[in-house]
Amino acid sequence: MTGFFWFDWPLLALSLANGIVLLWLGLVVLLNTERRTAGVALLVAAAWLGSAFFAAHTAILASGEGPASAALNLWWEIGWLPLLALPLTWYGVVLWYGGFGVDPGLRRRHRLPLALLGLLFVALVVAFFATAGLPSFVDAVNLRFEGTLSFWGAPWFLVLYPLYMLAALALCFDALLRPAPAPTRYGAAGRSRARPWLLTANSLLVLAGALVTAIMLWVARTPGPTATNELFRSALPSLAGWSADAAAARRLALAITWADLLISALLTGVIVCISYALVQYEVFSGRPLPRHALRRHWREAWLLAAGYGIVVGAALAAGWRPVYSLLLTALLMTLFFALLGWRTFAAQTDFVRRLQPFVVSTHLVEEVITPGAGSGAQDAGATFAALCDEVLQTDYGALVASGALADLVTQPLRYPADAPLPPSLPRFDAATDDLLPLAPGTDAAWALPLHGRQGQLGVLLLGRRRGDGLYTEEEIAIARAIGERLLDLQATAALARRLLDLTRVQWAEGQVADRQTRRVLHDEILPDLHAALITLRHEPEAQAEQAVDLLAAVHRQIADLLRALPVRPPARPSGRLLEDLRRLVTEEMAPRFDSVRFAAGADASGTAARLRPLTAEVTFYAVSELVR
């Protein structure tokens, strides 16, 4: 450390925060990914290597021992291993993001550079650790590199490492700018929105790499107490007049200190960009949709890392005794745990509040039994509005029935109520269950197919989310469940309303027929029967022909009355759907048509037998209404 509190404090805070977030990020990716592929392993390795580097960086900064101590030299060697591996690992992560395994063009462009960088990495590791070519920490501090192989008078690692690092970062731009097509259209939208964040992260890494290169070249130019350096004198003669004295060494030390702080800040920006792209769009997890809970945990992780870095960094920069740092850590963890519980309860309360519109009564019975009642439709509209406004946070939504429910649900739900519908609905494959983007030009930007056991039920049209973000996995699951439920409720209400109206009509027809039967029997048939009886009793022989005529007329009236009675289907089918339909058409409905013929396909019997009793009964009454 420099010994200046206001300089060491932010440096330690950044180093601690970066290490904590990278450790958390690696664990989150490892535990929450859908498939643990080689790309996931690369990303986890990159995050943990970065965390290990910042751990070594913090240990070197906070150590109170001299530069010749064995502990500092150990952390110095540990810190170089992630530094060597990170450029190649990041290059591998970017290649995986770009589709190296599925895109022949990307694989053809980067196969040779990847192999060369891999060989260079192995050579650097062997040169550093197997041949003891890495100078000790005290030698590096004093710029003594006389025991190290040199290029143009400069230590070899000060020349090769910057070239290796900048080459890897430059190759990353090609993979980021020309990636392979995403497997899904929603994944393509997420990848396109994550690309600016990854490009920003790579650009910040290039800036950090340029600073590292500049410092390394400065180190190569500045001689130590017992060594001279010919790099710039051979390559750049114009700088040969710069005398290497104690003042130059002091300027170099000051530049290294400020560069360390600036590079730490740049790396913090890199971590923010990469972690945001991961949790916001889940481009590395293999999941088709991002998750809202991951975003919340990302914010909490940064809050913990920032708070811990600020508090513990201040204690380390001030040189407090370790027990005070431990007490501060315990206090900070307790405070963070309390805040986490508070936010968890607040999120649960907000979830219950947002859930209320979806668990209230739909007043289905009132709508069905009350003619002209619109409470059920209003409740469905309010539920759909709550879904769009509270859950999905969009300014446009439409729920349109299709397939088997199109004839039952004729009025789509809209948000707002006067929102227009697209001129045509999108077409989906039978097995498509993904959220699909729509062509620009309408308020609808996404289409979500809704399915049931009988096939497609409808489609949920959604506008762009507020803030132009992507819908999360939880939100789409809720939208699908609520959309299917609303369509089922509307179809059930429509079918129940039709059956109830049919029952009312049949009951009214029965009442009219009953009254008509009573009137005909009382006013026409009974007087004729009475007259026939009187005629037969008083003059049995003379009036026999007249009595027979009266009885024949009565017979005809009764027959006509029976034919005029309305045909009623059985109150409940017998359970054999085909037999019930045949009896309905050929017997009970036959008088209404000139001719009737009932035909069923070869597989109709098996299909009808597999239907549930409730489904068979609803089908029977629906066919009855259709035939009527």
- The whole-number pLDDT of residue 230 equals 41
Strands of the sheet with 397-401, listed across from one edge? 413-415, 397-401, 455-462, 446-452, 436-437
H/E run at residue 546: helix 544-564
- Alpha-carbon distance of 14 to 306, in angstroms, equals 8
Query: Tell me: domain 364-486, CATH 1.10.10, correct?
Result: no
- For the record, the structure tokens of 550 come out as 């009266």
Phi-psi bin for 426: left (phi > 0), alpha (psi -120 to 50), beta?
Answer: beta
- The whole-number pLDDT of residue 519 equals 73
- The whole-number pLDDT of residue 360 equals 63
Angstrom distances, CA of residue 458 to CA of 124, 493, 496: 60, 16, 20
- Alpha-carbon distance of 103 to 180, in angstroms, equals 6
Residue 53 and residue 86 in contact, taking contact as beta carbons nearer than 8 Å: yes
Residue 131 has pLDDT above 90, yes or no: no
Summarised one tens digit per residue, pLDDT across range 482-493 is 888 888 888 888
Identity of the amino acid at 23: L
Summarised one tens digit per residue, pLDDT across range 516-572 is 777 777 677 777 777 777 776 666 565 567 767 777 777 777 777 666 665 555 445
Biggest alpha carbon distance in the chain? Answer: 159
- The whole-number pLDDT of residue 22 equals 95
Mean pLDDT for 152-168 is 77
- Alpha-carbon distance of 554 to 523, in angstroms, equals 12
Residue 251 and residue 5 in contact, taking contact as beta carbons nearer than 8 Å: no
- The whole-number pLDDT of residue 385 equals 85
Mean pLDDT for 496-522 is 75
Q: Which residues pair with 398 in a beta bridge?
A: 414, 461
Residue 402 and residue 456 in contact, taking contact as beta carbons nearer than 8 Å: yes
Residue 278 and residue 25 in contact, taking contact as beta carbons nearer than 8 Å: yes
- The whole-number pLDDT of residue 235 equals 39
Cis ω before 416 (30° cut-off from 0): yes
- The whole-number pLDDT of residue 16 equals 94
Q: Which residues pair with 151 in a beta bridge?
A: 154
- Alpha-carbon distance of 15 to 125, in angstroms, equals 24
Q: Write b or e for each residue in 25-63: b if 16 or more Cβ atoms lie within 10 A of its Cβ, otherwise e.
A: bbebbeeebeeeeebbbbbbbbbbbbbbbbbbbbbbbbe
Grouping H, G, I as helix, E, B as strand and the rest as coil, residue 442 is: coil
Summarised one tens digit per residue, pLDDT across range 575-597 is 678 888 888 777 777 777 778 88
Angle formed at CA 361 by CA 360 and CA 367, multiple of 5 degrees: 145
- Alpha-carbon distance of 316 to 619, in angstroms, equals 77
DSSP of 114-159: HHHHHHHHHHHHIIIIIS--SPPHHHHHTT--TTS-EETTEEHHHH
- For the record, the structure tokens of 527 come out as 């007087």
Using only C-alpha atoms, what is the Rg of the chain? 41
Mean pLDDT for 317-324 is 83
Residue 151 and residue 145 in contact, taking contact as beta carbons nearer than 8 Å: no
Residue 243 has pLDDT above 50, yes or no: no
Q: Which residue has the higher pLDDT, 297 or 614?
A: 297
- The whole-number pLDDT of residue 306 equals 92
What percent of the chain is predicted at pLDDT more than 90? 13
Mean pLDDT for 108-119 is 90
- The whole-number pLDDT of residue 378 equals 67
Find the helix packing angle between 185-221 and 70-98, rounded to 10°. Answer: 140
Residue 374 has pLDDT above 70, yes or no: no
Identity of the amino acid at 382: A
Angle formed at CA 401 by CA 400 and CA 406, multiple of 5 degrees: 135
Residue 70 has pLDDT above 60, yes or no: yes
- The whole-number pLDDT of residue 358 equals 67
Grouping H, G, I as helix, E, B as strand and the rest as coil, residue 372 is: coil
What percent of the chain is predicted at pLDDT more than 70? 75
- The whole-number pLDDT of residue 500 equals 77
Summarised one tens digit per residue, pLDDT across range 209-240 is 999 888 877 776 665 544 434 433 443 344 34
Q: What is the 3-state secondary structure (H, E, C) of 305-367?
A: HHHHHHHHHHHHHHCCCHHHHHHHHHHHHHHHHHHHHHHHHHHHHHHHHHHHHHHCCCCHHHH
